[in-house]
Chains A and B, each alone.
Chain A
Amino acid sequence: MMSSSFSVFRAGISFVMMCIFYTSAVDSPELSPQKFFSTLQPGKATLVYFCQAESPRTSMFLEELNEAAKPLQDYGISVAKVNCVTEETSRYCGSEKDMMKAYLFRGNIALREFPTDTLFDVDAIVAHVLFALLFNEVKYITTLGDLQNIENALKGKGNIAFAYVRAIGTPEHRAVMEAAFVYGTTHQFVLTTEIALLESIGPEDIEYPHLYFFHCKPVLDLTQPCRRILMKQSLTTLNIHQFIKTMEAPLLTEVTEDPRQVSTVHVQLGLPLVFIVGQQATYEADRTTAEWVAWRLLGKAGVLLLLRDSLEVDIPEDTNVIVRRAEEEAQMEFLALNHIDLIVFHVESTMYIEEMGKYEDMEDLNIGIQDDEVEETVYRDRKRQLPLELTVELTEETFHATVTASDSIVLFYAGWQAVSMAFLQSYIDVAIKLKGTSTMLLARVNCADWSHVCTKQNVTEFPVVKMYKEGQNPVSYTGMLGTEDLLKFIQLNRISCPVNITSVQEAEEYLHGELYKDLISYSSMSVLGLFSPTMTRAKEEFTEAGSYLKGYVTTGIYSEEDVLRLSSKYTVPLPALLLARHKEGKIESIPLVNVHVQDIVQIITNASLETFPEITVENLPIYLRLQKPLLILFSDGGIDLQHEKTILMLAKKKYLDSLTPCWLNLKKTPVGRGVLQAYFGTLPPLPLLVVVNLHSGGHVFAFPSDQAITEQNLLLWLKKLEAGLESHIKVLPAKEWKPPLPAYDFLSMMDAAASEHLTRKDPECIKETDVQEGDKEQPDDKSAITEESTGTLKMKHSSRSSWFEEAKKLLRHDNKEL
């Protein structure tokens, strides 16, 4: 589109467009000076470079010059290179020192000389050459006074395109010059590089180049300033062209045809059309409103006035604005907006989204709709009455007395915080389950009401659960925020940790799950530390580890004189750990060699992991910590014993050491279906084996469903997988979790309001009075009225306080007379 506009012939310089032999676009020919001057044609502009000898510096410049030849040629400017080395010399060749110079000729007259370092790249070359040629069309100014002079001179006569660029020779400077080449005769171009000048005009971010269009032609009263419109897009040739086109388009068009059929320059430029729907009876007022909107949307949309009664097409009764987007398939929007700002906002806000171009497939983009599942569910559940009375509400007055009087669990939450309110429900469920059975008091503190209580307990985030036991420091609960896990924590805390075992018989009962039968369901493993009575340090370390694991694992300690009986029975030297897995009925022994608290905790934690666990929502994080790929057997219901056997056998043979084998019961963990659907797109037949490499690459491999899950097949498949011979069925997305939706950009809204205020302040004064006459409902007459009324207030104020001044005057008067 641009190139066609730019191939227009212009008055002023008569360019010859035909291709002379040396203006090859690819390579500038090398001529001798004499030959060169003989080729210059009257009126034709030529950029000539006189070179002495090739050097790396000149060759770089020559490359840029070559590249500039084509665009310059579009403007009818030739490029040539003259070799000064051959035979006779010219005065343009200069001495060796200033060999880096280029000259711009019109005919055989040298217009300007350019040191080659100003022509550092194509943009700079084109910008400088056009700048020199368009000397009259583009006024370069440095002060606000210059600008005002030009503005005043053009009022009633023509319009101004005023550009600020950061420097001469920049790409944006080139863009302005290229635009000036086309529009320079219709509009006065004014250019500045002075930041201060820009600052005096508008509040915008001065780091960026700017282009304003001053509508001076319609200004007939010389005391009125020209209306200024800022171009919002970046300064590229295409954008400037579009912008000027919209500036030249009629401000307001009246149409009588079907809005679907209307076409204006805006549609061609990809801008929306805004139809103001009026009627004959209120024509004057409607036209004023439409003009108002048009000024506000100038450069952003085409505004048209449509009279309902002159139209065949049906428009919904309450519609007063129709917006038609530029895209062909776009729906017409029929709107009822009762405020000019709303129209402007509607058009601008959707334009903003279009510019972002990232929400196309989200029609219902709504920042104000809740997309946080926890917030939303808690909100929807807000009217449900919880049996809060099952827990004791603590206050500033009762907190201390309560937690010191009995063993207590305290939930710290905040009534407005969704996560803690969701957890409060689980907490109440725990209370329901424990009702009447627990010695532990269940209490809660709403930190929104008792802020200081929470702060004193060092609770600064929510929710927090703490256990207060007599004579002990409070312990924070660090498990899953759910009923089951908290219940387990409370139950396991009924016994001390580690529990002190007093006889071999008791130890056996403990190991066989008979001592704390009711706790077996909460802790599938019991740990017993065996120490001889003299191993005080080891005992201390173990005791500390035990209390660290308190509420999560049952631990016991035995260090009576006859401890050797146990040590020999389980064939382990002292000190040692016995791990009893109640589900499997196995007792494992691990010797403790020179170990510290952390190591003991680690040993017990690792031991609590199963070889082939059923993976659940609650335990997945524990197994993910191993950082190994998961081998998951998806099963619709309980696991096939044969499959379990197969995998356990492979595990026993150490074939699965690089993996975490596990299985998933879709009946118990229905969300597993979602996982399968993500892997396969559909729900595949079950059971099904997959390997998920979560921690490196996110590849998912599926065991072929036509093969039986046997030791042999599985082993072969795993080997192929390891060798990279299997292809994955899916790569899990590695996307970062970005903001789901944008936020309100208040900063931009404030800027828009500020710049509007500035640009509107003066130029629209005339308009404002018009509008007030035409339509009393206009939004902005309010501000005008308040301004006026404050003005009168000030006047009254000053007249009231001036009595002293008047008295003084009187006195002076008297003195004179005397």
Chain B
Amino acid sequence: MVRGLTPVVCRRMGLSAAAPLWGAPGLLLTIALLLALSLHPAQTWAPVHRDYCVLGAGPAGLQMAYFLQRAGRDYMVFERAPGPGSFFMRYPRHRKLISINKRYTGKTNAEFNLRHDWNSLLSHDPRLLFRHYSDAYYPDASDMVRYLSDFAERLGLHVLYNTTIAHVTLNKDRRAWNGHYFILTDHRGQAYQCSVLLVATGLPVPNQVDFPGSEYVDGYESVSVDPKDFVGQNVLILGRGNSAFETAENIFSVTNFIHMLSRSRVRLSWATHYVGDLRAINNGLLDTYQLKSLDGLLESDLTDLAIVKDHQGKFHITLKLFMEAGNQSSDAIPLPQDDNDNFAMRVAYDRVIRCLGWKFDFSIFSKSLRLSSGSELSKKYPLVRASYESKGSRGLFILGTASHSVDYRKSAGGFIHGFRYTVRAVHRLLEQRHHGVAWPSTEHPITHLASAIIRRINEASGLYQMFSVLADVVLLKENATIFEYLEEFPMQMLAQLETITGRRARHGLFVINMEYGRNYSGPDKDVFFSDRSVGHMEDAWLSNFLHPVIYYYRHLPTEQEVRFRPAGWPLPRPSALHHVVEDFLTDWTAPVGHILPLRRFLENCLDTDLRGFYAESCFLFALTHQKLPPFCQQGYLRTQGLVGTESLRQHGVESGLLWDSAIMGQRQGASEQQPGNHRPGGHPLAPGPPVSPFNSNKEEL
């Protein structure tokens, strides 16, 4: 992951280069076209067909290529640059990635370790882990370039380098998978016909704000990174993302002062729990501002701004409003301090630097694709569904950084450690849609349900990184004796689960999600308040830190229910809900604190007894009851009972949970106790008193 709002995916420089070409008709264009025509008469060649076309060989493009390759699909990746990950050749400008390369966790579980590895792509090859490429906790961007190039090469991914896709259109054809083909035309005029188009072009276009004097501003993409160039200067930085602070961090020790100006207040990632907000590694300037060391932060709408250059070449801040008064010489333009002599930005600046982030390049996509930009908040991203498919054309998917509109400012979908999983989800969707390969799942007897959930919440990295976006789903089979476990399903698509996965959800389901506490995250939240941690399992629903939440639905929610879910809920109101209490070590394996309440929840949802029993107990039940608990049915009766050892038996007798022959002998003839109903220890073992499951409770009340 690169700085904050900075894109991570390969920057398709070819696309940005193409933009002025298309935008400036004239001699240049004509010559270029003529050249192309004369040099490449092959433009009229029949289009090459590929089932899958991937635009961009950045992390997301390569990740998708990996899955397509493993599935043996017909695909091609198109990349303008001569190698993969060209964005990282130039960005971030100061070369330090702020995505964590945590090499030591004290654990050997490879899946768990991916929770703390923000740079690796997913593959079966353990050599292709980023920790083999850099020792730095915040690695250097060139290591990322090297890593991506190894990834593509070692896995033999099909990438067409030095190929700039200049134009993408739609061609209706009833034989096509989606009723149309995507026609891609490269800079040589070669056309490619694709059944499915996967756009992983990142956010290649720098955001610019147009105001009088904006021509005096240095852009992040070209500003000097040598602190010497800033010695003794007054610097104004526009923007408040990680790129702005990264720039400030680099020079603030040598400048007179730095002022930072942006529309919104600073959002600190440790308060918002969003990795794209300002990270502590870049926030040195906040320290100097708050400790009165001349640097400072200001809030204003940049579109009101104007910059005036005086005869000494210094820059003055004024209002656009003042400029509109007429064509005045620079010295005559009124400044705010003329009337308001304590105006904050009354000093003259030596430099103004723009660090305003990037946006998606819409220019190569023809109107027929109906690829539009998102809402005000996520204008820089193309609009997609929760399945990452474009709302405008079926078969067009947005991957990687550009797909971040789905979880912008919420989860990690805009960064490598998040989108490597969403790309996998898209691939699983495609496998089902076009090749009849159902979403991978495992099937188990119901007695393994608690274990299956515990395993995932303790190690799954996709759930952890893409919290509240990807969730595991447990589909119950008839009679709820067997369940299917599906991993990392885009939870907003829950209503369409059957179509997307090819699995049936007719008998109820569980959704396993990870969540922060409601009202815990936010730019103005005090995340260190004294009662922030919850320790008791009965208060689990008040947990603040990321913790597992399990939703139980008796029926698959409908699209309406998902869309009109209660405010602040990631899913519609379930039939029952369970929070596993937050854990300081994110280790949810405590037998009483974590596993027991989970089992009780599952038992009450399924209206059954999910306890484990030794073979001896099952033997007793088998001869004294007409029905057996599921554990005995699915284990003991299939000659797979758990025999146990003498020392365990002893503990069982001591705890009063296990049948004790000694006591039984002593009470011979004296006791009316029935072994099935009341144990010496007082704990009920046999079918306890009937407990209404959640559903019936509700109805009675």
Contacts and interface: CB of A to CB of B under 8 A. Distances in A.
Nearest to B648: A377
Contact of B639 (A480, A483, A747): A480
A812 to B, nearest CB: 9
Interface string A354-394: 01101100101001111111111111110010000000000
Nearest to A813: B339
B596 A733 contact: no
Contact of A743 (B298, B591, B601, B626): B601
B615 A480 contact: yes
Interface stretch (B43-51, B79-87, B627-635): B627-635
A694 B623 contact: yes
Interface in A701-730: none
A481 B339 contact: no
Contacts of B112: 451
B691 to A, nearest CB: 5
B639 to A, nearest CB: 5
Contacts of A355: 701
A737 B627 contact: yes
B215 interface: no
B689 interface: yes
B352 to A, nearest CB: 17
A735 B659 CA distance: 20
Nearest to A695: B626
B603 A740 contact: yes
B25 to A, nearest CB: 39
Interface string B659-701: 1010011001111111110000011111111111110010001
Interface stretch (A39-47, A76-84, A670-678): A670-678
B644 interface: yes
B30 interface: no
B657 A484 contact: no
A802 to B, nearest CB: 9
Contacts of B641: 480-482, 617-618, 621
Interface stretch (B376-384, B393-401, B449-457, B502-510): B449-457
A797 interface: yes
Contact of B613 (A373, A426, A479, A803): A373
Contacts of B642: 374, 419, 422-423, 481-482
- Contact-residue bracket for chain A: 35 or more
Interface stretch (A59-67, A164-172, A410-418): A410-418
A413 B562 CA distance: 38
Contact of A677 (B578, B607, B675): B675
Contacts of B697: 356, 745
Given A377-B648, A671-B659, A750-B541, A733 B693 contact: no
Interface in B314-332: 319, 321-322
B442 A429 contact: no
A110 B639 CA distance: 80
Residue of B340, B603, B607, B639 with highest tally of chain A CB at under 10 A: B639
Contact of A671 (B322, B459, B616, B686): B616
A744 interface: yes
A807 B648 contact: no
B160 interface: no
Contacts of A804: 300-301, 304, 319
B444 A374 contact: no
Nearest to A742: B691
A801 B264 CA distance: 10
A417 B526 CA distance: 37
Interface in A628-670: 630, 632, 669-670
B647 A425 contact: yes
A814 interface: yes
B616 A617 contact: yes
A374 B612 CA distance: 6
A674 B540 CA distance: 39
Interface in A452-507: 452, 460-462, 478-485
A574 B648 CA distance: 51
Interface of B: 107-112, 126, 265, 298-301, 304, 319, 321-322, 334, 336, 339-340, 343-344, 442, 444, 448, 451-452, 454-455, 458-459, 485, 524, 526, 537-538, 540-541, 573-574, 576-579, 589, 591-592, 595-597, 599-601, 603-604, 607-609, 611-617, 619-620, 622-630, 635-645, 647-649, 651-652, 654-655, 657-659, 661, 664-665, 668-676, 682-694, 697, 701
Interface of A: 232, 234, 355-356, 358-359, 362, 364, 367-381, 384, 395-396, 414-419, 422-423, 425-426, 429, 447-452, 460-462, 478-485, 617-618, 620-622, 624, 630, 632, 669-671, 673-675, 677-679, 681-683, 692, 694, 698, 732-747, 749-750, 786, 790, 793, 797, 800-801, 803-804, 806-808, 810-811, 814
The 5 A-B residue pairs with the shortest CB-CB distance in the complex, in nearest-first order: A482-B643, A416-B589, A374-B612, A739-B603, A670-B661
Given A417-B451, A419-B642, A682-B668, 9 more contacts: A373-B611, A377-B644, A384-B647, A414-B451, A682-B671, A694-B622, A740-B684, A743-B604, A803-B343
